[in-house]
Amino acid sequence: MKTLKTKVLPFVLAVLLINLMLNLIFSNRITEDRFTTRYNYLKKNLTSYNTLFFGSSRTLRHTIPATFDAANQLNGIETNSFNLGTPGNSSFETYMQYETFLDYYEGLEERPIQTVFLEIFPLTRVSWENSTSSKSVYWMSLKNAKRLYGYVNDKEDYTLKRKASYSIFSIPLFLKYFGFGYINFSSDSADKKIWLGKNVDGFLSYEEEIALSKSEHNKKSLLEQRNDFVKDTTQLESRKQAILEEMKNEDNASNFNPSHAEVLKELMAKSEEVGINLIFTVHPRLNPINEMQALKEALPNRIIDMSNPNEYAEFWKVETSFNHGHLNTSAANIYTKKLAKIFEANRAEQFTKTN
């Protein structure tokens, strides 16, 4: 047994060392196909755009570039926008995607991007089932691990047990440096190209995905989501009431997360260095939202927030929903027009670059 250990241990250490070196070389590779399909297209056609949207599935499903640009054109504002929202994103994964773009962008001589809308939302804990997936691993780094630690440590409303549960992020962190992430084990999805959207602007509604998807399994899954919602729409009202209950708490100081605010300020500063005006968005259907309300006070005039059911009642109707967490295409058009209206009304005064 001792002889076996002496033989195996050096081999394991050698593999870990080789993996570490290779992972450091390929550390910035993004393995999220739903993002990279559009990101690679964007880089090839960057001079055609001056406005970008980064975020989760809410950004993907709610923000229609064609509608945004048409609304702005009526107001004498020339925007050519592209949507990079990605399903299943965590907040810090979204920030990593945007930061990756900034690292690329600062090396360019021609910089056409004027405005970026970045969706913000609380960090959710990765599940055990997904802790080893490439989706959880690729965006990890020592820098992001430090940010995650700061974020969780600053959550005053979390119990010690709940904070400890976030240690699960140590699994994707370990795999990021010592796993086999530098090897692409997966083949291209049959649906890879649909993520550019019908209008090749990055927007893809659920309805369009069902129509364009070549995967019967994916179509079935999306239709089941839709049917489950139609059968029981009470979950939408429950989410609405939960948000309204949160909003009764006027003491946002206890919900403020300094580490989260610091990350956003870093992204603002980095954006300004390359001439980008960074605007944060809080989408309808986000729950919980108390942390976002606290960030609005810390980052005044930087956040467009349409999460309040009292102010934006049209986004909380069954007929404007695809499921309890997302708007349908009709409501997405309304949301995007409102976004353009707020942008136009405030762009000269409210969303000015900070010193």
Q: Say whether pLDDT at 3 is over 90.
A: no
- Across all residues in the chain, what is the average pLDDT? 89
Q: What is the pLDDT of residue 4?
A: 59
Residue 152 or residue 185, greater confidence: 152
The reply to whether 3 falls in a domain is no
User: What amino acid occupies position 126?
Assistant: V
- Answer whether residue 337 is part of any domain: yes
Confidence of residue 351 (pLDDT cuts 50, 70, 90): very low
Q: Is residue 225 part of a domain?
A: yes
CATH number of the domain residue 215 falls in: 3.40.50.1110
Of residues 330 and 11, which shows the higher confidence score? 330
Confidence class of residue 182 from pLDDT cuts 50, 70 and 90?
low
| pLDDT at residue number 27 | 62
Q: What is the pLDDT of residue 192?
A: 82
Domain span at 290: 32-123+188-346
pLDDT above 70: percentage of residues in the chain: 88
Average pLDDT rounded to a whole number, residues 330-340: 97
Higher pLDDT, 322 or 134: 322
What pLDDT is recorded for position 38?
Answer: 95
Phi first, then psi: what are they for 173, rounded to 5°?
Answer: -65, -45
| Confidence band of 12 (pLDDT split at 50, 70, 90) | low
More confident residue, 13 or 61: 61
On whether residue 295 sits in a domain, the answer given is yes
- Residue 352 domain flag: no
Of 8-22, 155-169, 263-277, the one with minimum mean pLDDT is: 8-22
Angle between helical axes of 234-247 and 290-298 (0-180°, round to 10): 40
Is residue 85 in a domain? yes
Q: What is the pTM for the complete model shown?
A: 0.91
User: Is the four-CA dihedral 149, 121, 269, 302 of positive or negative sign?
Assistant: negative
Q: At residue 57, does pLDDT exceed 90?
A: yes
Distance CA(166)–CA(155), nearest Å, equals 12
Per-residue pLDDT tens over the stretch 15-27:
667 666 776 676 6
- 203 pLDDT higher than 90: yes
Contact 79, 112 (CB under 8 A): no
Give 51's strand partners.
Answer: 81, 115
How many whole angstroms separate alpha carbon 27 and alpha carbon 24?
5
233 domain-assigned: yes
Domain count, the chain: 1
157 in any annotated domain: no
